[in-house]
Structure 1
Amino acid sequence: MVRTKVLRNILSIITLVLLASLSHAKSSKSSIDGLRIHVRHIDSKGNFSKMELLQRMTHRSHKRMNRLVRKTHHPPRHSTKHESSAETNVHVGSGEYVMDIAIGTPSLTFPAIIDTGSDLIWTQCKPCGRCFSQPTPIFDPSTSSTYKRLPCTAELCKALPYYKCGLNNASCQYQYVYGDGSFTHGNLSSETFTLGSKKFNNIAFGCGNLNSDGFAESSGLVGLGRSKYSLVSQLKFKAFSYCFASLDKQKQSPMLFGSLCYLNASVAKGPAQTTPLLKNPIFPFYYYLSLLGITVGTTKLDIPSSTFALNSNGTGGMLIDSGTSITYLEQTGYDAVKRHFISQMRLPVADGKDIGFDLCFASRSKPSFALPKFILHFDGADLALPENNYFIHDSDTGLFCLTVMGSSGGMSILGSMQQENFKIIYDTKKSKLSFIPTQCDQQ
């Protein structure tokens, strides 16, 4: 009898352990095959006119492009924890789209910028020595039962471009200075994150106590780059995708991770095409594409493929970026594009500087004739853009503007406006990028 009770107790304990293990596995980073969340444009909740929206987008894009050019032309010295944080300047920051993340136990929801040009996940935290205004309460780690500061010996602490150690190595104090001088300083910590309907334990993030302005309509940033501490790397997904809906619809856009990236092909409007993702040897956390040529109308432009090549010193190349709204082309390549559009459009050229565009035409209504085609030829793939992805019309000013501009620094950037209504899949394991014409608000 006693032996039977003992056996029953042992079996009960084993059952509880197994159930606890299964429960933990369901919320662990590696046990979830796929994840779906939604993102929205950073200005979607603002009451902006179309012209104001265009001005805000082009202003942010010009600033971001200039930061990227300065950065790739002035690589930082190799950082150690003893160097000044001003030496890092390793990421771009800011962006065009935000996602909602929930942090802590109990959880508190925040809007955070998504950025393929950044790696660190961070949010503003109390006590706040310096914080910018955000639309939700600032995260207070003292109210969460799952918050932990990471020690200086943690692997992800050592992966940071700059850090210093707290007393007895008990904390990892990070300092990020972005290319425009904006910054976040605080403690590298771990927390439970809720993304969509899924919980993920022990996500490393920056709990920022000193943060400069420059991240409007958000509480921080979610980096999607290639470093160990980006969201993609920490969740151990080998692929992620997004599908930006047309901006004027002001609808949410789906963002998918893992196995879900390859599902729901029924809403595709064309075949998938795939091109290699290149890695910049100096800035390996960015995603680069091999742009080989451009077609305007029926003319493939006489531009040497070396014009857009990624150089061994980290300059040049074409970066695909979620945080830049318009596309920038190396200046000589853009000049050729501009000449051919002017020669093929049956409209007078107009001044678009008030909006922020370089090439505009005078037109009170959207032209009734078919516009010249605009095709970007990548290694193994041709991106034929719909007209709405490279021309935008503002009826208030009577301007019809090309949403492509020149970059004086030699770098090219594929912006988010040109990615609208394409499902963009980043296969980080195979280092490939696929794009599929898609009605993104139905994805």
Structure 2
Amino acid sequence: MVSIVINYLVILVVVLQLLSVSCSNTSKLISFSTHLIHRDSLESPLYDSSTNKTNFLERAILRSSSRFYNAKSISKFPNNNANEINSIDSTVSVSIYSEYLIEISIGTPPIKQLVALDTGSSKVWTQCLPCVNCFRQTQPKFNSKRSSSYKILTCGGKECKKLGNAKTCEWRYGKCTYTFKYLDNSSSSGDLAMETFKLGNNFFRKMVYGCSKNNIGEYYETIAGIAGFGAGPHSLISQLSDMVGGKFAYCLVHYLKINTRSKISFGASAIVSGRSTPLVSEYITLEGISVENMAFPIMVGHEKTYTRIPFRSHAILDTGAFLSYLPTGLYQQLKNALRSVIRAEPFENYHLKHCYRFDPNFPTLIIHFSGGAELVLTKRNTIINNNGVWCLVIHPTNSGETIIGSLFQMDYMIGYDLENKSVSFKAVNCSNH
């Protein structure tokens, strides 16, 4: 009997040790999720009950055009002046043009703030009382004087120094102030502070963010500010990096199900299996596009046949743009390949360059990235029916950059790993996540 008890105790100790090892490995990363709200969904404060499907698409197209052509994304790409990148954010007033909103709560007690999500920005700020020049806001403005956890940072501190040329210190008072400039000539200025954030059901202390008191430009009154998810030191994800390992993943529901919530996950639950592509700063590398082509079979070990369009370009995954943008040379090659498959001449219609007056048998497009990662895009992701006209959701651009817009990303789990500097893609039904 004694030996049985001893054996049982030995087994129990071994099991507990194994559980301890398992817990220690998984407890390194917290894991949580929250939701993204599309700006035109029923939940959004920007919802307009008079908007129909045609209005929705037209507005999304116009927002994409304004976002891209006003900014031209010049500071997102390499070979730019480092000081300029620090002082000018490549985002174009995302409070106007962003497609997705995320809810965070700030302060003690927490005050809910609905802010614009932007994967291309590294700034986090909301409007803050007392305001010098604030845009009209229907949400309650955050009052820093009523928060017990609010702390203004000093000019000589390391967090202030990370602002680079965006720093505009008030040396007389010793506090760190900033001016974030955007490429449409709008700006946001205020105090750099530390605060407690609530994201999902989790509280995060000592988060660095901008308490904005002076804003120049056009902003929607229902948006409180911006949550940047870029690679900069003050982005939301960078500040959570120790707890979530620099990992986040989002899954955008297709626009035909726009009232279904999209999801964003952090930490262990944000690990996306499959091939990844290297992330350098805020861009990935496009290596080519394949167009499905049954008329001109070229067999190279694939189950299906493709015509390969080789290319190499820096690319940004942009949740704030509905459309996608390709360098003019690549766009023209793609257009020629589509002509040979669909056997019809496209025409221009309402800001879109490649349209048909009939429902085309549109081929699958495969977007190839370095490292072997791919976006396999069916007709649902590449062409829209805008009031009886079928149009490709891609624009050419002379500036050489590639922008992967939100329609290309819909129904894909897209995982960022900022520690290992990679992005992964996995095709899923985002309505079920």
- TM > 0.5 between the two? yes
Hey, what does 1:267 align to over in structure 2?
Answer: none
Indicate the SS of the match to 2:213. strand
Residues 201 and 111 (structure 1), Cα distance of their counterparts in 2 relative to 1, 3 Å cut: same
2:319 aligned to which of 322, 327, 337:
322
The whole-number CA distance in structure 1 between the counterparts of 2:136 and 2:29 is: 35
**SS at 1:339 equivalent:** helix
**Corresponding residue for residue 270 of structure 2:** 261
Q: Which residue of 2 aligns with 1:22?
A: none
CA deviation after TM superposition for structure 1 residue 77, in Å: 6.0
Pairwise mapping of residues 40-439 of structure 1 onto structure 2 (< 5 A)?
Answer: 40-44=37-41, 45-47=47-49, 48-66=51-69, 67-71=71-75, 72=77, 75-76=80-81, 78=83, 88-93=87-92, 94=94, 95-161=98-164, 162-168=166-172, 170-216=174-220, 217-236=222-241, 237=244, 238-250=246-258, 251-262=260-271, 272-279=273-280, 284=281, 286=282, 288-298=283-293, 300-301=306-307, 303-305=309-311, 308-309=312-313, 317-345=314-342, 349-353=346-350, 356-363=351-358, 367=359, 370-379=361-370, 380-394=372-386, 397-439=387-429
Aligned AA (2:207): I
Structure 1, 130-139 or 162-171: larger mean CA deviation = 162-171
Specify the code of the residue in structure 1 equivalent to 2:363. Answer: P
Name the CA distance, whole Å, in 2 between partners of 1:347 and 1:164: 57
| Structure 2 spans left out of the alignment, 5+ residues | 1-26, 42-46, 297-305
Secondary structure in structure 1 of the residue aligned to 2:320? coil
Question: Does the CA contact (< 8 Å) of 1:153 and 1:169 recur in 2?
Answer: no
RMSD: 2.3
Q: Which moved more, 1:128-137 or 1:186-195?
A: 128-137
CA positional deviation for 1:90 = 3.0
Distance in 2 between residues matched to 1:381 and 1:241, nearest whole Å: 16
| 1:430 Cα deviation from its structure 2 partner | 1.4
How far 1:322 sits from its partner (Å)?
A: 1.8
Shift of 1:133: 2.8
CA distance, structure 2, for counterparts of residue 435 and residue 65 of structure 1: 24
Deviations 1:185-212 (A, max 9, x none): 0000111111011111111110000113
User: 2:299 maps to what in 1?
Assistant: none
Residue 266 of structure 1 is matched in structure 2 by none
Please state whether the residue corresponding to 1:323 is helix, strand or coil: coil
Shift of 1:303: 4.0
Q: Is the CA contact 1:34–1:260 (under 8 Å) kept in the aligned structure 2?
A: yes
Q: Deviations over 1:121-143 (max 9, x none)?
A: 00011122222233311111111
Which residue identity is paired with 1:292?
Answer: E
> Are residues 391 and 429 of structure 1, via their aligned partners in 2, closer, same or farther at CA, if it must alter by over 3 Å?
same
Shift of 1:154: 2.2
Question: Residues 228 and 98 of structure 1: is their aligned pair in 2 closer, same or farther, counting only changes over 3 Å?
Answer: same
Q: Percent identity among equivalent residues?
A: 31
Please give the per-residue CA displacement for 1:86-109, whole angstroms capped at 9, x wherever unaligned: 992233141221101111111111
Does the CA contact (< 8 Å) of 1:191 and 1:201 recur in 2? yes
Please state whether the residue corresponding to 1:343 is helix, strand or coil: helix
- What secondary structure is seen at the aligned counterpart in 1 of 2:83? coil
Distance 1:124 1:186 in 2: 9
SS in 2 for 1:180: coil
Amino acid at match of 1:158: K
Cα offset for 1:65? 2.1
* 1:382 Cα offset (Å): 2.7
The question of whether the paired residues in 1 share the 8 Å contact of 2:193 and 2:211 is answered with yes
What is the Cα deviation at residue 55 of structure 1?
Answer: 2.1
Q: Which letter does structure 1 place at the counterpart of 2:276? A: T
Deviation at 1:41, TM superposition (A): 1.3
Distance apart, 1:153 and its partner CA = 2.0
Q: Which stretches of structure 1, 4 residues or longer, exceed 3 Å deviation after superposition?
A: 68-77, 299-304, 346-351
Structure 1: segments with no counterpart, 5+ residues: 1-29, 80-85, 264-271, 310-316
Aligned mates of 1:35, 1:429 — CA distance in 2 = 18
Counterparts of 1:321 and 1:201, CA distance in 2? 28
Aligned-partner residue type, residue 407 of structure 1: T
Q: Residue 345 of structure 1: CA displacement?
A: 2.5
Q: Relative to structure 2, which stretch is displaced further, 293-302 or 70-79?
A: 70-79
Q: Do the aligned residues in 1 keep the contact of 2:324 with 2:408 (CA within 8 Å)? A: yes
1:352 is displaced (CA, Å) by 1.4
Mapped partners of 1:99, 1:347: distance in 2:
42
Q: CA shift at 1:63, angstroms?
A: 2.5
Change (3 A) 1:50 1:350: farther
Q: Residue 74 of structure 1: CA displacement?
A: 9.1
Deviation string 1:235-256 (CA, Å, 9 cap, x unpaired) is 1232111000012212111101
